[in-house]
Amino acid sequence: MLEKAQKMKDQIDSLVLATRRTSGKRTETSVVRIWKRWVPLAIERGDIADEIVDAHHMCQYLLYTASRPQLGRSGAAATSSDKLSASTLKKTMTMLGRIRRCQYDDNPALMQVRPAEST
């Protein structure tokens, strides 16, 4: 049953990506790639406890994203001193939400145990 659910989830994810514009696909893969690179470093520094996206995790990642140098297409830091725009931070939040929804799909108990928002 779990294999069937995973297969269905993968099909839905591929369908969602297939219906996106090329630029949206690039943005999503870029944000997720940077996030995956950041998570082990943040855990090692003690900024976050694990890879579960919760309110603290989002704040820490947005702080990192807003203050890091922009990256070029090759993944190396760009030479300009420009910071990310509000639009890019909004896209980052959207992608973090997508990652969180995938985590909810994998473990529905996260909604109660580790809420993504705090009051």
Q: For residue 118, with 0-12 CB atoms within 10 Å meaning exposed, 13-18 middle and 19 or more buried, which class applies?
A: exposed
Residue 119 lies inside a defined structural domain of this protein: no
Residue 100 included in any domain: yes
Q: Judge whether 63 lies within some domain.
A: yes
The full length of the chain comes to 119
**Per-position b or e across 77-94, b if 16+ CB within 10 A of its CB:** eeeeeeebeeeeeebbee
pLDDT-above-70 percentage for the chain: 73
* Domain-located, residue 41: yes
Percent of the chain with pLDDT over 90: 8
Among the ranges given (27-31, 98-102, 109-113), the one the predictor scored with the smallest mean pLDDT: 27-31
- Tens-digit pLDDT profile for residues 66-77: 787 666 666 666
Asked whether residue 54 is domain-assigned, the answer is yes
Q: What is the pLDDT of residues 49-65, one digit of tens each?
A: 888 888 888 889 888 88
Domain count of the chain?
1
CA dist., res. 62 & res. 103, Å (int) = 19
**Ramachandran angles phi, psi of 27, nearest 5°:** -60, -45
4 falls within a domain? no
Residue 2 lies in a domain: no
Backbone angles phi, psi at 77, to 5 degrees: -65, 135
Could you tell me how many helices (H) and strands (E) the chain has, helices first?
5, 0
* Full residue range of the structural domain in which residue 32 is found: 23-70+80-113
Domain assignment of residue 51, yes or no? yes
